[in-house]
Amino acid sequence: MGCGSWDAAARRRWAKVARIGYAIRQARRNRARVPHLDDRQLQSADTSDSLPVESKFQADAVGVDTAPAASKTSALPCVGRSLPPSRKQLEEWERRAAPALFDELTEDGNRSAVTAVRLREWRLEERQRQAWRVARTLDVDPTIRYRCPAWWSIMVCDLITYTFADFLPEFDVVLRRAWLAGDFDFSAVPLCGRWGWRRRARLAGYR
């Protein structure tokens, strides 16, 4: 499959993001209040995961589990040992992981997402192009992080997914297989742990 086909898959992924953005705008029109985080909550989000992004990539590449122990609130219900988490549960884990991953990528906001993409030595031009598009969107309005956290976390995890696919050829193969199967929501996040990308990919038949 050529680059054009992968770009088409990326556009379908973006369509989902656009629908979420539309739902958020509709909610705002209906005067639904978007919660604002106070300083203590922001500090908690920023320090929720102190491991650097590249360190996580390197640890996960060799199969080392660097994820903290799962809390009671994020524990998977005991329905079955091999039952994968729901899409809703995965999105919740992505939402929790996104702030720390983004802060590590941007050096706690000292550089833009676009700069982080530009300074990286990319292996695949296709992944660089995808990451650059997401990074540019994230840089347009930094306040989206707090005003629309669901939409923002999806974009951050897309950026991490494309970067990880470029970093690790094994995951790049998994991501391509997921897209060929029509699974455009498959993400690198969580990178590791009980439901890291390897286990999820294996259960879905992508490995």
- In tens, the pLDDT along 24-66 reads 555 444 433 433 444 444 344 334 333 445 555 555 554 444 4
Residue 74 lies in a domain: no
Task: Sort 107 into a burial class: Cβ within 10 Å, 0-12 / 13-18 / 19+.
Answer: exposed
Q: What is the DSSP track for 64-82?
A: ---PPPPPGGGPPPSS-TT
Give per-residue pLDDT as tens, 142-187.
Answer: 899 999 999 999 999 999 999 999 999 999 999 999 999 999 999 9
CA atoms within 13 A on the CB side of 39: 0
Provide the domain limits for residue 199.
3-61+86-204
Residue 69 lies in a domain: no
Q: Which amino acid is at 100?
A: A
Check: CB of residue 102 under 8 Å from CB of residue 156: yes
pLDDT of res. 32:
38
| pTM attached to this predicted model | 0.63
Give just the sign of the alpha carbon dihedral 82, 16, 25, 150. Answer: positive
Q: Give the residue among 89, 103, 87, 86 at the shortest CA–CA distance from 159.
A: 103
Domain count, the chain: 1
